[in-house]
Amino acid sequence: MDYCTLGRSGFRVSRLTLGAMTFGAGTGIWQSIAGLDREQTTRMVALAVERGVNLIDTADAYSQGQSEQRVGEALTALGLDESRMLVATKVRLRTGSGPNDVGLGRSHILRTVETSLKRIGRDHVDLLQLHDRDALVPLAETLRALDDLVRQGKVRHVGACNFSAAQLERAHAITAASHGATNQVHYSLASRDVEHEIAAVAREYAIALMIWSPLAGGYLCGKYSADSTGSSTAAGRRSKLDFPPIDRDRVDPIVHELHAIAQTLEVTPAQVALAWLLGREATSTVIVGARNEQQLEDNLRASEIALAPDQRTRLDRIVAAARAVSLLDAAAARPRSRAGMTSKPSRALTGATKQRRVLMYAVTGIRGKVGGVVGRTLLSTGQRVRAVIRNADKGSDLKRTSRADSLTIACSLDSRARSCASLDLGGLQRPRC
């Protein structure tokens, strides 16, 4: 097992973290997610320690607190102190029926941490994370409460979960001297939004990214994707709780590519997906959970897999193609605000250099694949967002700016290129260059 330092904290953790969301047997949504009893939890923790894992990630709200309790029982049964197993937990979600049993106010944070320490059976938490933002509480008050807990010795390091790039910037502006070390985010081959802005801000401020749901709720394992007959009847958590949400038409091609690479390496698709994440520059540690020891064993073996550059390229290309189709289909499904809008060229493109010839097309109602590797892509109704699609063979760019009622495609070619006829634009009209 390899280890990494979380930000500037000096906090060394394993590249794979044991997720404790399945520990305990709570009510509500936890009936679909959790269910492991004390003995099962203890065996899972023992296996993780044996494989070199030294961090468990839990939360005060998981199974109404039972997850933290199961973690504490396992640590006691196995005689594990902080030199062998660290504990990360969270605060923010509802923990009771009272009006103050939720949020990031000072009272709730301090009271919840005391309860978590009793469940875990230790005098401190190694990493306390804000489970999300609380719009009702000033961020300065929340950060001050965390700082007080660190000064009291009840918390070693603090982090966040699901913070946007802007929220990370704001927290850093309030207190650059905080003990913040991490931001726990959703990142996988099925969801790469983190790469847009969060990864850059995290890198600038040396904030480590902890990855949750690296297999997209198990979907990247392949058991939920449609087979050749178009049916998918696999039983599992996602069959009861479809979370995190995904676009199955877009993700299924990725799953098929994972299967192909897995067959070549004689491993599982899940191991390939985890190995891909571990090889990403933005990733510090990946949280892996399981419902049984075999699942956990398979997931932990991903740390032993090294994907070849061409295999990573194949995954990047299939993700790019799926993303491009999704964006184009979304644009095609939008209602036209002006009847009779047709494609017509425009010669304006801000920032065009003398070395480039540019031809722009305003297009609506388009469908089709765009070849190459997609770079930064976003699509939001009513917002102007740029997406860049790079053709790896010709070194050309397709720059797309999306609006609520139109989609503008620009083909920028290096001045040395003679034609862009070889670009795979699917059903789009090819510009004459």
CATH number at residue 153: 3.20.20.100
Query: How do the pLDDT tens digits run along the chain, 433 residues long?
Result: 999 999 888 889 999 999 999 999 988 888 888 899 999 999 999 999 999 999 999 999 999 999 999 999 999 999 999 999 999 999 999 999 999 999 999 999 999 999 999 999 999 999 999 999 999 999 999 999 999 999 999 999 999 999 999 999 999 888 765 567 899 999 999 999 999 999 999 999 999 999 999 999 889 988 777 554 444 556 667 767 778 888 888 899 999 999 999 999 999 999 999 999 999 999 999 999 999 999 999 999 999 999 999 999 999 998 887 666 555 555 555 665 544 444 444 444 344 333 332 222 222 222 333 333 333 333 333 333 333 333 333 344 444 433 333 333 333 333 333 333 333 333 333 333 3
Distance (Å) of CA 294 to CA 73, 253, 396: 22, 26, 46
Residues 259 and 341 both lie in one domain: no
Distance (Å) of CA 101 to CA 139, 182, 196, 279: 18, 24, 34, 39
- Three-state SS at 127: strand
**Measured between alpha carbons, how far is 313 from 307 in angstroms, rounded to an integer?**
10
Domain total in the chain: 2
Residues 202 and 82 both lie in one domain: yes
Residue 432 within any structural domain of the chain: no
Residues 281 and 145 both lie in one domain: yes
**Measured between alpha carbons, how far is 293 from 364 in angstroms, rounded to an integer?**
51
- Going by C-alpha positions, the residue among 188, 126, 129 that lies closest to residue 163 is 129
- Going by C-alpha positions, the residue among 288, 273, 285, 126 that lies closest to residue 208 is 285
Tokens found for residue 368: 């089709």
Question: How many other CB atoms are there within 10 angstroms of residue 302's CB atom?
Answer: 23
Predicted local confidence at residue 235, as pLDDT: 62
**Measured between alpha carbons, how far is 211 from 281 in angstroms, rounded to an integer?**
12
Predicted local confidence at residue 227, as pLDDT: 57
Residue 75 within any structural domain of the chain: yes
Predicted local confidence at residue 173, as pLDDT: 85
Residues 200 and 273 both lie in one domain: yes
Residue 315 within any structural domain of the chain: no
Tell me whether strands 180-186 and 155-161 are parallel, antiparallel or unpaired. Answer: parallel
Tokens found for residue 116: 């978590």
Residues 189 and 302 both lie in one domain: yes
Residue 312 within any structural domain of the chain: no
**H or E element that contains 125:** strand 125-130
Residues 159 and 32 both lie in one domain: yes
Residues 6 or more apart from 17 whose CB is under 8 A from it? 53, 55, 56, 57, 88, 210, 285, 286, 287, 288
Residues 55 and 192 both lie in one domain: yes
Residue 128 within any structural domain of the chain: yes
Residue 316 within any structural domain of the chain: no
pLDDT digits (tens, 9 = 90+) for 347-365: 443 443 333 322 222 222 2
Written as one string, the DSSP assignment of 352-413 is --TTEEEEEEEE-S------SEE-S----TTS-EEEEEEETTTTEEEEEEE-SS-EEEEEEE
Residues 222 and 347 both lie in one domain: no
Residues 44 and 141 both lie in one domain: yes
Of 238, 272, 307, the last residue of a domain is 307
**Whether 58 contacts 68, CB under 8 Å:** yes
Residue 317 within any structural domain of the chain: no
Residue of 3, 62, 187, 219 marked active site = 62
Predicted local confidence at residue 177, as pLDDT: 58
Predicted local confidence at residue 146, as pLDDT: 94
Tokens found for residue 344: 């017509």
**Omega of the bond leading into 309 within 30 degrees of 0 (cis):** no
Active-site residue flag, 62: yes
Longest dimension (CA), the chain: 73
Residues 125 and 92 both lie in one domain: yes
Of 240, 273, 307, the last residue of a domain is 307
- Three-state SS at 129: strand
Taken as a whole, the chain contains a residue count of 433
Q: Which residue range is the domain that position 269 belongs to?
A: 3-307
Predicted local confidence at residue 244, as pLDDT: 87
Of 307, 342, 377, the last residue of a domain is 307
Give the residue carrying structure tokens 């959703």. Answer: 186
Residues 406 and 343 both lie in one domain: yes
Q: Where are the alpha helices (DSSP H) in 122-209?
A: 139-151, 165-174, 198-204
Question: How many other CB atoms are there within 10 angstroms of residue 8's CB atom?
Answer: 13
**Burial 182-209, CB ≥16 within 10 A → b, else e:** bbbbbbbbbbbebbebbbebbeebebbb
Written as one string, the DSSP assignment of 306-325 is ---HHHHHHHHHHHHHHHHH
Residues 6 or more apart from 18 whose CB is under 8 A from it? 44, 45, 48, 53, 55, 56, 57, 287, 288, 289, 296
Distance (Å) of CA 264 to CA 219, 252, 306, 308, 316: 20, 19, 13, 11, 17
Q: Using CB atoms within 10 Å of the CB of residue 82, give its burial: 0 to 12 exposed, 13 to 18 middle, 19+ buried.
A: middle
Residues 361 and 273 both lie in one domain: no
Residue 327 within any structural domain of the chain: no
